[in-house]
Structure 1
Amino acid sequence: MSRFLFISCLCTLLLACQHSPKKNYFYLSPISEKTVTQTSSNVSSQLIGIGPVDIAEYLTSSQIIDNQSDNTLTMSDNAYWAEPLDKSIARVVSLNLTQLNNGRSFVNFPWRSDSKPHYSLRLHVDTLSRTGKNANINATWELIDNDAKKSILRRNFLRSIPAESGAKGLAYAYSQLLAELSKEMDEALNQNP
């Protein structure tokens, strides 16, 4: 009798596992090439470093945070980031900046000692969230002279744009926010040597 109960419990457990909901994965994407007007830099193949990119600790979860209000985070059901958010942000910013100016190339932090860039862009993201129907970003970025070991420029970047519901709409809105951030960084790179 105990053997029958054990087998019944095991079968029930296996059936329950088969019906668990499918996980959905989402990623951030760079600027659409159709909307980019490329400009060439006077310096061909200027190497710029991207990173380090630091994000607030609550953003390190692989599960997508759907909403934030009253100091409460709501996690999306079965919606996950396809890659760690800090790495995704660095990848997208690098691709955006490359599309905005093909006269520069980018290397992500940590870079090898033999490919250390003269300049780098550091980024700290304090907030990347949806509040109500808007996606928000609160970030600080710096243009660093790595040889002189000093900050050339430091700016705060605050934006809020409408976001469609669901994880797909949120990933798209975050991508748009990073596109705006990249354009601001590109303008600063164009104004500095």
Structure 2
Amino acid sequence: MQRIFKIFPALILCLAVAACDSKPSNFYVLSAPGITSGETAQTTRRRGLSIGVGPVTLPEYLDRPEIVIRENATALDVASLNRWGGSLTENFQNVLGEVLSERLNTDRILLHPWSVSGNVTYQVLVQVNTFEAQPDNQVLLDARWTVVSGTTQDVIRMGRTVLREPISGAESGTGGADYAQITAAMSRSVARLGQEIAAKGIR
């Protein structure tokens, strides 16, 4: 019993030190550049095209709470303290929908899986191959996309978009980069993808 009493204070001390050394996690989300959540909702574009966005699929190594950056061709760095504020797949799909809404001048955007009855005019499917910060201080987004008819499911257009977006403020590799700047560059990449799909895939 005496030995237990000697160990107990030491255990409390170890737990206290561990608590002091632990650091809080940082959380980030993608956002559509130029579109803020505080803006008043507009309902003046209800007569536009009806666009179904999704499904969007990401590689399994990216579809996780932690932000992943690439160290080299075969190595990844999983940032345990820098995390997504929700599902990256859903966040990506939502931002893509906002960009398509803006570029196609319509508020009739449905995100997969949609439950609203009735057919969409077009459905946009996206398969993301690569979407992470690279050692050269750029975000690489490599995605294949398909636009199909909402009524017949016939393929209307297919394309592959490969984008490199500089990480603002990065100086000496992503190992010391600001994750706010990394996620901002990722947001711009998704916006550029949406712009390209709107311009080349839906006319």
Do residues 173 (structure 1) and 185 (structure 2) align? yes
Aligned match of 1:160? 164
Is the 8 Å Cα contact of residues 147 and 202 (structure 2) preserved in structure 1? no
Partner of 1:107: 110
Which residue pairs with 2:32 in the alignment? Answer: 30
Residue ranges of structure 1 left out of the alignment (5+ in a row): 35-39
Query: 1:84 Cα shift?
Result: 1.3
Q: How does 1:98-137 map to 2 (within 5 A)?
A: 98-112=101-115, 114-132=117-135, 133-137=137-141
Q: TM-score, normalised by structure 2?
A: 0.82
Q: What displacement does 1:14 show?
A: 4.3
Q: Distance in 2 between matches of 1:113 and 1:190?
A: 22
Partners of 1:70 and 1:187 lie apart in 2 by: 32
Q: CA deviation at 1:8?
A: 3.2
Q: Residue 150 and residue 68 in structure 1: after superposition, are their counterparts in 2 closer, same or farther (change >3 A)?
A: farther
CA contact (8 A) 2:51 2:109 kept: yes
Partner of 2:197: 185
Cα distance in 1 for partners of 2:198, 2:117 equals 25
Higher share of residues assigned helix: 1
Per-residue CA deviation, residues 69-127 of structure 1 (Å, 9 max, x unaligned), is 13000122510011111101101011112222333420100111614423110011010
Sort the Cα spacing of 1:113 and 1:92 in 2 relative to 1 into closer, same or farther, 3 A.
closer
Shift of 1:181: 0.6
Structure 2: runs of 5 or more not aligned = 37-43, 171-176
TM-score by length of 1: 0.86
Identity value in percent = 19
Q: Which residue of 2 aligns with 1:12?
A: 14
RMSD: 2.3
Shift of 1:17: 2.6
